[in-house]
Every structure is written in structure tokens, then in C-alpha cells.
């Protein structure tokens, strides 16, 4: 089966990201990466149950933290948490992020893969105060050069800097002249560690899939090292096909 068919056989809530929550440790890593501090007004767009809001307030002492999500149950959960902890400078809004007022933000966590939402939010982010930091995970804001990277965490600061090409953007993220198997594996592994299930076998499987996706995208963009398919890439393509019945080779432009 083609990888696209495999992905569409998985639960929709996982593929859409609706039910995916960042762990508390990953949130702390992100906050250290962006140097979240006491003068910040922090927003988490698509905040889910909202642990990010209490961590930002209690451990990073931000001035204000706001979580926005269009799922009312998750928002109620967050509001209860704030009440229980008697926190007054935090709040949760049951809203669509594409219309929410975020004008006073200094740091925004924005982990979305839906292209329409990303496009819509990029034009809104551009009107925010200069210096406002937008954190994304795995990919930068489409069309803009990242200002800081600790993969898979990526920072774009207002005003954004246009990327000349997807190629330039990708090379900046991977901080290299070309992408070989080892680079693809290292970055895929960092992603699995940040958002994976902490189940070694599942995370290894995710790393294999992501490594092949990174390498094949690099090859198609002309930024893989050399013309040949490296042996480990060939082996993993074979393992996926033989043992998991998942086919990725057709993703390669010939
Ligand atoms: C990790 S975010 C990312 C989900 C997103 N579908 C994606 O592209 O990956 C998941 C959270 O965002 C919330 N969410 C999804 N779309 C939203 C929207 N338009 N406005 C506010 N919250 C949204 C969901 O309720 C969920 O708690």
C-alpha cells in the first residue's frame, strides 16, 4: 500500500493533530528555546488542555498567558486548572484562532499543519509588534527564513524575512550544504523525541518514516548529497515494503 493510503487508514484525530498534545517536558524545552521570560505575553494557539499556560506562568513567570482553542471541553479543562491553582494572570478563550485578538502577544506557540490556517495566520502575524516571536514545530512559516532553530523547534520573528526558495529554507533548517542519510536520520530522530510517544518501538518507526520523507523531499529539491540513493535509504525503503507493506518509492521524482 502507498504511504498515503497507510496514513489515511490511521485515526483522523491523530492525522489532523486534533488530539495530539505536547508533553510538559517538550513545552519546557520550547520555552527554554525561545527564552520565555517575565515580560512576555504568551499565547498558545490550539492550546488543547492548556498545560502550557500554567507552565509559562508558574515556571517561566510570564506577565500574562492566554490559551485559545475551538474545543470547549479542552478550554473548560484549562479554566478549571487555573481556578484550582488560583492563577489570575492566565486565561483561556473558546475561539477560532483565525479571528482571535492576539495583538498584544510577544511570544506565540503555533503548531498547525493545515495549510489554509497557516496561510491565514501568517498574514495576521505580520501585523503584530516587531520582535514578536512565533514558534512552530518541524517546519517554519511557509515562505520565510527561520530566525533561530533547535530542530524541531523553529522561530520566526516579526518582521519576517522572505525565503528566496524552498531549497534555501530547507538548507537553513538543516544547517548544511546537502542532506545525506545521517542528517535526515538525526533530524527525524529529534522530531520523534520531541513529539513521539516515548514508546521506543513506535518512535523508531516514526523516525524511519520521517527519515525517508526528509531524504526524498531533499532529493526532489536537488539538495540531497550525490545522485545515488544511499544504501541505508534503499534498505529502509525495502524494510517498509517487505515488513510493513508500506510503499514510499513513488514519492521520488524520476
Ligand atoms: C496541535 S493543534 C494542531 C491541530 C491542527 N489541526 C493541525 O494542523 O495540526 C491541536 C489543537 O488545536 C485546536 N484547533 C484546531 N483548529 C483550531 C482553530 N481553527 N481554532 C482554534 N483551535 C483549533 C484543536 O482543538 C486541538 O486542541
| Domain coordinates in residue numbering, the chain | 15-163, 176-251
Contacting residues for 43 by C-beta, under 8 A, at least 6 apart: 65, 66, 67, 68, 102, 105, 107, 108, 109
22 CA: nearest ligand 1 atom: 1
Which among 78, 112, 135 is the best mutation to test ligand 1's pocket, defined by most ligand atoms within 8 Å of the CB?
112
The predicted pLDDT at position 60 comes to 98
The predicted pLDDT at position 18 comes to 78
In the reported structure, the alpha carbon of residue 230 is separated from the centroid of ligand 1 by a whole-number distance in angstroms of 37
In the reported structure, the alpha carbon of residue 43 is separated from the centroid of ligand 1 by a whole-number distance in angstroms of 14
Among protein residues, the one with the nearest Cα to ligand 1's atom 15 is 46
> Mean pLDDT by 10-residue block, N- to C-terminus, for the chain (254 residues)?
87 74 94 98 96 97 98 96 94 98 98 93 97 94 94 96 90 91 94 83 90 94 93 96 93 86
In the reported structure, the alpha carbon of residue 238 is separated from the centroid of ligand 1 by a whole-number distance in angstroms of 35
The owner of cell 494557539 is 45
Among protein residues, the one with the nearest Cα to ligand 1's atom 24 is 18
Of the candidates 54, 58, 52, 56, which has an alpha carbon nearest to the alpha carbon of residue 40? 56
Region for 197 from its dihedrals, namely left if φ exceeds 0, alpha if ψ lies in -120 to 50, beta otherwise:
alpha
Give me the residues paired with residue 153 across strands.
137, 150
Tell me the CATH number for domain 15-163: 3.40.50.150
DSSP letter, residue 249: G
Q: Which residues line ligand 1 (CB under 6 A)?
A: 16-18, 20, 46, 48, 68-71, 74, 96-98, 111-114, 117
CA distance 156 to 132: 8
pTM of the model: 0.91
CA distance 20 to 161: 30
Among protein residues, the one with the nearest Cα to ligand 1's atom 2 is 46
97 CA: nearest ligand 1 atom: 20
In the reported structure, the alpha carbon of residue 48 is separated from the centroid of ligand 1 by a whole-number distance in angstroms of 8
112-to-22, 38, 81, 119, 141 alpha-carbon distances in Å: 12, 26, 24, 11, 10
Which among 22, 70, 77, 109 is the best mutation to test ligand 1's pocket, defined by most ligand atoms within 8 Å of the CB?
70
In the reported structure, the alpha carbon of residue 153 is separated from the centroid of ligand 1 by a whole-number distance in angstroms of 18
69 CA: nearest ligand 1 atom: 22
In the reported structure, the alpha carbon of residue 112 is separated from the centroid of ligand 1 by a whole-number distance in angstroms of 7
DSSP letter, residue 7: H
Asked whether the beta carbons of 172 and 148 are under 8 A apart, the reply is no
The predicted pLDDT at position 92 comes to 98
Amino acid at each position: 500500500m502507498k504511504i498515503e493510503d497507510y496514513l489515511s487508514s490511521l485515526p483522523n484525530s491523530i492525522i489532523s493533530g486534533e488530539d495530539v498534545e505536547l508533553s510538559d517536558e517538550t513545552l519546557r524545552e520550547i520555552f527554554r528555546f525561545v527564552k520565555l521570560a517575565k515580560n512576555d505575553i504568551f499565547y498558545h494557539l490550539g492550546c488543547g488542555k492548556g498545560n502550557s499556560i500554567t507552565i509559562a506562568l508558574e515556571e517561566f513567570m510570564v506577565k500574562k498567558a492566554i490559551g485559545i482553542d475551538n474545543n470547549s471541553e479542552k478550554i473548560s479543562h484549562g479554566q478549571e486548572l487555573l481556578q484550582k491553582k488560583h492563577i489570575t494572570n492566565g486565561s483561556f478563550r473558546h475561539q477560532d484562532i483565525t479571528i482571535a485578538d492576539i495583538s498584544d502577544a510577544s511570544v506565540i506557540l503555533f503548531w498547525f499543519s493545515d495549510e489554509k490556517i497557516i496561510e491565514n495566520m501568517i498574514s495576521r502575524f505580520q501585523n503584530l509588534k516587531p520582535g514578536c516571536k512565533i514558534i512552530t514545530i518541524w517546519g517554519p512559516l511557509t515562505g520565510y527564513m527561520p530566525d533561530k532553530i533547535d530542530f524541531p523547534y523553529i522561530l520566526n520573528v516579526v518582521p519576517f524575512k522572505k525565503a528566496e526558495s524552498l531549497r534555501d529554507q530547507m538548507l537553513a533548517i538543516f544547517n548544511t550544504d546537502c542532506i545525506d542519510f545521517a542528517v535526515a536520520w538525526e533530524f527525524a530522530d529529534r522530531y520523534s523525541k520531541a513529539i513521539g510517544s516515548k514508546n521506543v518501538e513506535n518512535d523508531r518507526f516514526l523516525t524511519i518514516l520521517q527519515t525517508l520523507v526528509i531524504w526524498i523531499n531533499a532529493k526532489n529539491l536537488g539538495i540531497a548529497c550525490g545522485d545515488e540513493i544511499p544504501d541505508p535509504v534503499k534498505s529502509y525503503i525495502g524494510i517498509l515494503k517487505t515488513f510493513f507493506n508500506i510503499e514510499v518509492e513513488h514519492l521520488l521524482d524520476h
